[in-house]
Amino acid sequence: MLTTDILIEWLVKIGVVFFILMTAIAYVVLLERRLLGFIQMRLGPNRVGPFGLLQPLADGLKFLFKEDIVPLEADKALYVLAPMIALVPALMTISVIPFGDKIVILGREIALHITSVNVGLLVVFALTSLGVYGIALAGWSSNSKYSLMGGLRSSAQLISYELALSLSVVGVIIFSGSLDLVEVVKQQNSFWLGFIPKWNIFTQPIGFLIFLIAAIAETNRVPFDLPEAETELVAGFHTEYSSMKFAMFFIAEYANMVTASSMATLLFLGGWYGPFVDKFPLLGPIYFSLKILFFLFLYIWLRGTLPRFRYDQLMRFGWKFLIPVALANVVLVAGLALLIY
């Protein structure tokens, strides 16, 4: 039965994780601006607080005080709803992501995940693909042509790369035999020859690369940032958005980045596993964060390096390259699994 202490445990976990997620998003934004600054031979924001550490706070305040503009021609209800549709699922995906093994606090064994369901992977996919509705509706409801084109682009892009994304994880599921993310991670907790970790990245590097590319495309980041390509579409689907509603799209984008990074870590890089994690389970979340940070760095690095794809190139790359390779990868991994077992 649902007892009070279970409920309290859940609420505390949700509170803590939600707070950490929001803080992480705020500081990923700062990290991106600073790192991009260094890549581009400049300093980035460093005026608000020591090393610019209070910059996210200043940004947040600014968003709060800015005038909220709803265009006269816009479909008001959808216009207000769209950023929420984008944001809420993006924040919810954290619920099934495990960031460590069980730890003991005050004599109580606590698993380091909000919840574990046997189709965790599907929950993540379902929630992330809901985000496209937010973007498409934002583009349509604004009644601006730039927004519309951004919305159309993003719908087509997200659904195209979702195929490759789901195909690339089939290999992982073959190895783990479960859709539960905790099980997926635990299957990677052993070694070959005593020192090479049994991470999925080593058994299926192709699947990892496909997942990474598709995940970057799913989060609308460079070089796949066509929905908001500022030099073409001004600001894409959020051209008409300002103030807090714009901030919601912003937060959703970075929440999706964090989710995609955590998924890549869980599925291919052994989640929270690392040296001595069996003895000190608290190290788990630290390893997990470090691995996520690696992917976030990759995101920012790419943004500092690559130009943007053109629309037809994006579609061609997704449909004519990624999907066939992903299909071949499924066959390859299935054959490999048969050899190993």
Site for other proteins in 295-334 (CB under 8 A): 303-313, 315-316, 319-320, 323-324, 327, 330-331, 334
Cis previous bond, 83, omega within 30? no
CB of 174 to other proteins, least distance (A): 5
Judge residue 264's burial from the number of C-beta atoms within 10 Å of its C-beta, 0-12 exposed, 13-18 middle, 19 or more buried. buried
**How far is the first Cα of the chain from the last one, in angstroms, to the nearest whole number?**
40
CB of 8 to other proteins, least distance (A): 12
What whole-number distance in Å separates Cα of residue 339 and Cα of residue 336? Answer: 5
CB of 221 to other proteins, least distance (A): 11
Question: Binding residues for other proteins, how many (CB under 8 A)?
Answer: 108
Q: Does 247 contact other proteins by CB under 8 A?
A: yes
Q: Which residue in 31, 163, 206, 298 binds other proteins (CB under 8 A)? A: 163
Q: Does 279 contact other proteins by CB under 8 A?
A: no
What whole-number distance in Å separates Cα of residue 89 and Cα of residue 28? Answer: 19
Site for other proteins in 184-203 (CB under 8 A): none
* CB distance 257 to 296 below 8 Å: yes
Site for other proteins in 43-102 (CB under 8 A): 63-74, 83-84, 87-88, 91-92, 94-96
* CB distance 230 to 236 below 8 Å: yes
Which one of the spans 159-167, 185-193, 202-210, 265-273 is the region binding other proteins (CB under 8 A)? 159-167
* CB distance 240 to 144 below 8 Å: yes
Which one of the spans 188-196, 208-216, 241-249, 272-280 is the region binding other proteins (CB under 8 A)? 241-249
Helix (H, G, I), strand (E, B) or coil at 49: coil
CB of 274 to other proteins, least distance (A): 26
Closer to other proteins by Cβ: residue 27 or 274: 27
Q: Does 103 contact other proteins by CB under 8 A?
A: no
Q: Does 211 contact other proteins by CB under 8 A?
A: no
**Residues near 214 by Cβ (< 8 Å), separated by ≥ 6?**
161, 162, 164, 165, 168, 322
* H or E element that contains 16: helix 4-39
